[in-house]
């Protein structure tokens, strides 16, 4: 079988990304070669492909579900917001430049050849392409020259399944309202509806299925239950970023930076018994965590200035090292040094004073972006993070700045440590069971306790989670009808 299917949602947060991943895994289980595709993604959670190109983190997860290596072909256009009105534009995995929203919208049709080329290459290599839309297809003020929802489906002649999120309420208004606002030729592309994230007894929605089918004139392909999972979320709408109180023996606090990126770096800790991760935005929320993490950010200087304004910088500097250990990743690592400078205006320009917890370390942004996969071992580390000495890690780097200093080297890939403070550029550095396991055990020991639970490897856990997600979705959807839709096309 060859063909494609597109998942569009009534809104951001409808569940498009995970349904796309589930279908990729189902088609793979059924013996088909399959690849994901999202023409344009806006996200701060990104990933580096084996050939050093940058794509959305969701597409990397979907490729993993499909059992293939991620490729820039799967996400030819990635927008990484740098301000409220502008983004870094990444095309075919490489930085094209920074653009304000108005400029990008006026020029986005210039990217159609790149999108077509990427899709056509994937189509020639795989049996089935599972295409994901973005946001809602009926944002009427933004619909002109659409390249990611119905404009893409029309251009590439792809049948569409429309997904609504019943957990948010108003699923009838979501699905019928969206369908009604589509142009007639766009409605013809919609071959079925999916109700996602249903809680409770699904049989109670039987009448709802009949109403939706009558109103929209399209079959309901299935009702998918609310699935608890630890798979990566798209950034801004993730429930993981909600403020929560410490509910574990071990309290890990993460600074919730305004432009936080790649917070999936900390997902592995959810699998450790007695460990909780919470996000902090104010000094009074900091408390006395067992470990403080400064995460990545797309705008290091602006977020450093935000930390100064909120008083978080002063609170961290006053208590770091002797009250709690601190670990920084990427932008968070840059903040731990003396200064961060952006002489070329690659983010927002200017210079900011860092926390000074890694003395003599200074970061200077350059016009060329570092994008690479990496692996190695921790060096001989002293202080709290001596627990990581010799531990093997894997991950990737994606950053504009270079950090140099005289502090002691942390890993084979760089980074530094000083006392109970450490940082590096490697996203995913905690995913290895050697790293996360050693760190959790050390956190327990620092409290006079012993950790007796299992250790977790993020890669292996994702495989298990993807199989469980696919099993639930397969049972919930009419897969025979989906295969028929793919075969018949538009």
How does pLDDT run across 141-164, given as a tens digit for each residue? 989 999 999 999 999 999 999 999
Q: What CATH number has the domain spanning 243-457?
A: 3.40.50.880
Q: Name the token pair of 81.
A: 């917001």
**Mean pLDDT on 203-216:** 96
- CA geometry: angle 341, 425, 277, nearest 5 deg: 110
**What's the confidence (pLDDT) of residue 243?**
55
If pLDDT is split at 50, 70 and 90, which confidence band does 83 have?
confident
* 212 and 175 Cβ atoms separated by less than 8 Å: yes
The answer on pLDDT for 238 being more than 60 is: no
Give the pLDDT mean for 17-21: 97
Residue 427 annotated among the catalytic residues of the structure: yes
Which of 232, 255, 388 is closest to 333 using CA atoms? 255
User: pLDDT of 439-473, one tens digit each?
Assistant: 999 999 999 999 999 998 888 889 999 999 999 99
For strands 160-165 and 128-132, give the pairing: unpaired
pLDDT for residue 231: 82
Contact between 395 and 425 under an 8 Å Cβ cutoff? The reply is: no
Parts of the chain belonging to CATH 3.40.50.880 = 243-457
- Where residue 234 falls among pLDDT bands split at 50, 70, 90? low
Question: Using 50, 70 and 90 to split pLDDT, how confident is the model at 367?
Answer: confident
Outline which parts of the chain fall under CATH 3.40.50.300.
3-231
Mean pLDDT, rounded, for 37-55: 95
Residue 233 has pLDDT above 80, yes or no: no
Report the predicted TM-score, pTM, of the whole model to 2 decimal places.
0.89
Band of the pLDDT at 38, cuts 50, 70, 90?
Answer: very high
Which range has the worst mean pLDDT, 74-78, 334-338, 344-348, 367-371?
344-348
pLDDT higher than 90, residue 244: no
What average pLDDT does the chain have?
Answer: 93
The reported pLDDT for the residue numbered 322 is: 79
Which of 24, 330, 361, 424 is an active site residue?
330
Euclidean distance between the first and the last CA atom of the chain, given in angstroms as a whole number: 15
Cα angle: 179, vertex 185, 187; to 5 degrees: 20
pLDDT at 239 over 60: no
% pLDDT > 90, the chain: 84
Range 3-231 has CATH code 3.40.50.1970: no
The confidence score (pLDDT) of residue 82 equals 80
Collapse the DSSP code of 262 into the 3-class scheme (helix H, G, I; strand E, B; otherwise coil) and give the result.
coil
Checking if the pLDDT of 328 tops 90, the result is: yes
Give the residue carrying structure tokens 């935000």: 306
Q: Please, which pLDDT band fits residue 345 given cuts at 50, 70 and 90?
A: confident
CB 130 within 8 A of CB 5: yes
Cβ–Cβ < 8 Å for 163, 135: no
Tell me, what's the pLDDT at 477?
Answer: 98
């Amino acid at each position: 079988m060859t063909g494609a299917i597109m998942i569009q949602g009534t809104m951001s947060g409808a569940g498009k990304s995970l349904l796309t991943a589930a279908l990729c895994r189902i088609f793979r289980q059924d013996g088909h070669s399959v690849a994901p595709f999202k023409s344009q993604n806006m996200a701060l959670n990104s990933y580096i492909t084996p050939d050093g190109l940058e794509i959305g983190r969701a597409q990397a997860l979907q490729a993993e579900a499909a059992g293939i290596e991620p490729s820039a072909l799967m996400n030819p256009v990635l927008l990484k917001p740098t301000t409220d009105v502008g983004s870094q534009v990444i095309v075919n995995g490489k930085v094209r430049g920074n653009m304000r929203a108005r400029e990008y919208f006026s020029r986005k049709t210039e990217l159609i050849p790149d999108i077509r080329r990427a899709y056509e290459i994937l189509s020639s290599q795989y049996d089935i392409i599972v295409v994901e839309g973005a946001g809602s297809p009926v944002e009427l003020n933004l619909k002109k020259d659409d390249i990611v929802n119905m404009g893409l489906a029309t251009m590439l002649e792809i049948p569409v399944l429309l997904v609504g999120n019943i957990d948010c309420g108003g699923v009838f208004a979501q699905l019928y309202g969206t369908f009604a606002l589509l142009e007639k030729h766009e409605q013809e592309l919609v071959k079925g509806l999916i109700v996602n994230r249903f809680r409770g007894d699904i049989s109670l929605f039987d009448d709802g299925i009949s109403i939706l089918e009558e109103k929209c004139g399209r079959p309901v392909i299935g009702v998918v239950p609310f699935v608890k999972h630890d798979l990566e979320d798209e950034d801004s709408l993730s429930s993981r970023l909600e403020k929560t109180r410490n509910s574990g023996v071990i309290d890990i606090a993460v600074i919730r930076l305004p432009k936080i990126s790649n917070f999936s770096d900390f997902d592995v800790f959810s699998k450790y018994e007695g460990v909780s991760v919470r996000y902090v935005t104010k000094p009074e929320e900091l408390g006395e965590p067992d470990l403080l993490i400064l995460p990545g950010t797309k705008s290091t200087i602006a977020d450093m200035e935000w930390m100064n304004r909120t008083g978080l910088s002063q609170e961290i500097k006053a208590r770091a090292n002797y009250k709690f250990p601190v670990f920084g990743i990427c932008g968070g690592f840059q903040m731990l040094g003396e200064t961060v400078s952006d002489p070329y205006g690659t983010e927002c320009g200017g210079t900011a004073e860092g926390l000074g917890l890694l003395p003599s370390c200074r970061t200077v942004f350059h016009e060329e972006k570092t994008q690479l996969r990496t692996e190695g071992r921790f060096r001989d580390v002293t202080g709290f993070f001596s627990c990581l000495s010799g531990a093997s890690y894997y991950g990737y780097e994606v950053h504009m700045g270079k950090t140099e200093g005289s502090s002691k080297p942390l890993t084979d890939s760089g980074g530094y440590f000083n006392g109970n403070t450490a940082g590096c550029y490697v996203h995913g550095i905690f995913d290895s069971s050697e790293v996360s396991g050693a760190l959790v055990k050390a956190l327990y020991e620092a409290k006079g306790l012993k950790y007796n639970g299992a250790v977790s490897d993020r890669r292996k856990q994702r495989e298990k989670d993807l199989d469980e997600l696919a099993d639930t979705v397969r049972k919930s959807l009419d897969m025979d009808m989906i295969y028929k839709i793919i075969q018949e096309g538009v």
